Amino acid sequence: MHIPDGFLDTKTWVALTAVSGTAIAVSLKQTGKTLGEKQVPVMGITAAFIFAAQMINFPVAGGTSGHFMGGVLAAILLGPYTALLVMATVLIIQCLIFQDGGVTALGANIFNMGIIGAFGGYFIFSVLRKFLKNDKGFFVSAFAAAWLSIVIAAAACSLELSISGTVPLKTSLIAMTGVHALIGIGEGLITVAVLSFIKKTRPDLLES
């Protein structure tokens, strides 16, 4: 889902860079107010895990592959504001050091995988938790939020490419959401597996 340079027109990448930059600035301010000592090492470990997990691709269908995104996992562990900072850090390092995603498209990639992944996914998770309140509901909510965050991010990516005149919306939307609906299953399973391990070993990290 990392958009390379040249795939977005100027108006699109400039607008998304402004939106992502503003979101990061707000998140920095909010995180500075709420981040506790216990969360600092969790933030670092979460960023390292997501970075490593995103480097591993798994086959999907028709020769395509996908990778873990991690926005929902980070948001559940740290809250959406801190999760966005984690996602932005990972994406910036991937872009500047590993050339995974373009520099001009960095704002769009942060928007798709960071803002939609962290804030959108956390919103879905929070809504579902109001109806699914037991332990099983916790994991069902996490899986559904992770899956939906992937599909919505893929749809947003398709819309951005269409607005830029790169690919017709109908073509890109069907292809992107179809493939990422399968990738989202892997996203959900990995998210649930990690949260299950944390719940067994360090349940205090999930209390908030």
- Write the pLDDT tens digit of every residue in 31-68: 988 877 777 888 999 999 999 888 776 665 555 456 78
Q: 99 lies in a domain?
A: yes
CATH number of the domain encompassing residue 74:
1.10.1760.20
Report, as ranges of residue numbers, the positions in the chain whose pLDDT lies below 70. 57-66, 208
pLDDT of residue 60: 59
Q: 145 lies in a domain?
A: yes
Q: 3 lies in a domain?
A: no
Q: What is the pLDDT of the chain when averaged over all its residues?
A: 90
Domain containing 106: what range? Answer: 10-200
Q: Which of 12, 161, 20 shows the shortest CA–CA distance to 89? A: 20
The two tokens of residue 45 are 């470990």
Contacts of 113 (CB under 8 A, 6+ apart): 1, 69, 71, 87, 91, 153
Q: Note the pTM of the prediction, 2 decimals.
A: 0.92
Q: 86 lies in a domain?
A: yes
pLDDT of residue 148: 97
Q: DSSP per residue over 43-90, as a string? A: HHHHHHHHHHHHT-EEE-STT-EEE---HHHHHHHH-HHHHHHHHHHH
pLDDT of residue 175: 85
Q: 66 lies in a domain?
A: yes
CA distance 156 to 152: 6
Q: DSSP per residue over 18-49, as a string? A: HHHHHHHHHHHHHHHHH--TTHHHHHHHHHHH
Distance between alpha carbon 67 and the CA centroid of its chain, in Å? 11
Unique residue bearing structure tokens 């707000």: 26
Q: 89 lies in a domain?
A: yes
Q: 150 lies in a domain?
A: yes
pLDDT of residue 61: 54
Beta-bridged to residue 66, according to DSSP, are: 58
CA distance 116 to 161: 17
Into how many domains does the chain fold? 1
Question: What percent of the chain lies above the pLDDT cut of 90?
Answer: 68
130 within 8 A of 97, measured Cβ to Cβ: no
